């Protein structure tokens, strides 16, 4: 059955959802997006995602031709049209069609697109037994070149790192910043547990401030688990007691091996399990 897609105010069949070949989102990756999850018919932290979309758009001088309320309604309408209670939403805003050339002033009609579907980012066994990842040689884009807080359509940097991981037999890869510090993985934020303290890289390490990352930090505080945002290097990961990743699509997933080094006992640890369980309760309880 064809999925229903929201395109600029209208719900259409995926077969009729089209953008111009001259759209700068296609030609140059000029646009922004958000990935959202729906649990039990409620989109998790919808307002936070919408606010971040607007921040990304403002940072690249892209005017979204709808209000926040209208976009939020479009997200819910698209889920309902596809009869999805538990689903994944990709919300995209492109610069719009224009002439060949980089000038964004020569574009018009930004495209607002909402796609709703199901998603399984990793096999179930990885959530139970944990991931093995590698460190990619591809660095996280320097924040002076493009702010990591902009969730743009140009993900080639992350894709190149992802390819390194896949070719090494791993489904995810760690990315370092230009100083050799731990930033994040290709699609997820990273946490480690060291001597009972939860640690994750700070914003200035070159990370996207993930919505799920923020939720896990809240859960750690509620559980009286000391949580710190501090600079990490690979040594800190190799010698950690536990490690896990967070992301909208991934949710919370343990990491048990990095660069052929076992993390802790080589199995998901107790704090990882506690926060995973707490997160699953949270998403069913609040939106």
Closest to 218 measured CA to CA, from 238, 237, 246: 246
Strand ranges (E), the chain:
4-7, 10-13, 31-39, 42-43, 87-94, 97-98, 107-108, 112-117, 131-135, 173-176, 182-185, 189-194, 197-200, 227-229, 242-247, 251-258, 261-262
Whether residue 188 contacts residue 247, with contact meaning beta carbons closer than 8 Å, is answered with yes
Concerning whether 230 is annotated as a catalytic residue, the answer is no
Q: Are strands 189-194 and 242-247 parallel, antiparallel or unpaired?
A: antiparallel
3-state class (DSSP) for residue 80: helix
CA 270 to CA 261: how far, in whole Å? 19
Distance CA(183)–CA(36), nearest Å, equals 22
Q: List the catalytic residue out of 151, 162, 179, 224.
A: 151
Q: Among 65, 117, 64, which residue's Cα sits nearest to residue 89?
A: 117
Q: How far, in Å, CA of 57 to CA of 159, rounded?
A: 22
Residue 188: name the closest of 164, 161, 168 by CA.
161
**Residues involved in catalysis:** 151
């Amino acid at each position: 059955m064809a999925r229903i897609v929201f395109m600029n105010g209208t719900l259409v069949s995926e077969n009729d959802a089209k953008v111009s070949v001259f759209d700068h989102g296609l030609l140059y990756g000029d646009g922004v997006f958000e990935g959202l999850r729906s649990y039990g018919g409620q989109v998790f932290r919808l307002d936070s995602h919408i606010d971040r979309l607007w921040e990304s758009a403002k940072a690249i001088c892209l005017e979204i031709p709808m209000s926040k309320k209208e976009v939020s309604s479009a997200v819910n309408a698209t889920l309902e049209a596809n009869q999805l209670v538990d689903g994944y939403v990709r919300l995209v805003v492109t610069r719009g069609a224009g002439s060949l050339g980089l000038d964004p002033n020569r574009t018009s009609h930004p495209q607002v697109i909402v796609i709703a579907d199901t998603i399984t980012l990793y096999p179930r066994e990885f959530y139970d037994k944990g991931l093995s990842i590698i460190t990619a040689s591809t660095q996280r884009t320097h924040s002076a070149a493009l702010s990591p807080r902009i969730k743009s359509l140009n993900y080639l940097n992350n894709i190149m790192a992802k390819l390194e991981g896949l070719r090494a037999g791993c489904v995810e890869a760690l990315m370092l910043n230009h100083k050799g510090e731990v930033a994040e993985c290709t699609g997820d934020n990273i946490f480690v547990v060291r001597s009972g303290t939860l640690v994750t890289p700070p914003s200035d390490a070159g990370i996207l401030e993930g919505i799920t990352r923020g939720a896990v930090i809240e859960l750690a505080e509620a559980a009286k688990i000391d949580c710190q945002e501090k600079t990490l290097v690979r040594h800190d990961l190799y010698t950690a007691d536990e490690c896990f990743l967070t992301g909208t699509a991934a949710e919370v997933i343990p990491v048990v091996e990095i660069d052929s080094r076992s993390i802790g006992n080589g199995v998901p640890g107790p704090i990882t399990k506690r926060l995973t369980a707490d997160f699953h309760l949270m998403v069913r309880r609040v939106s």
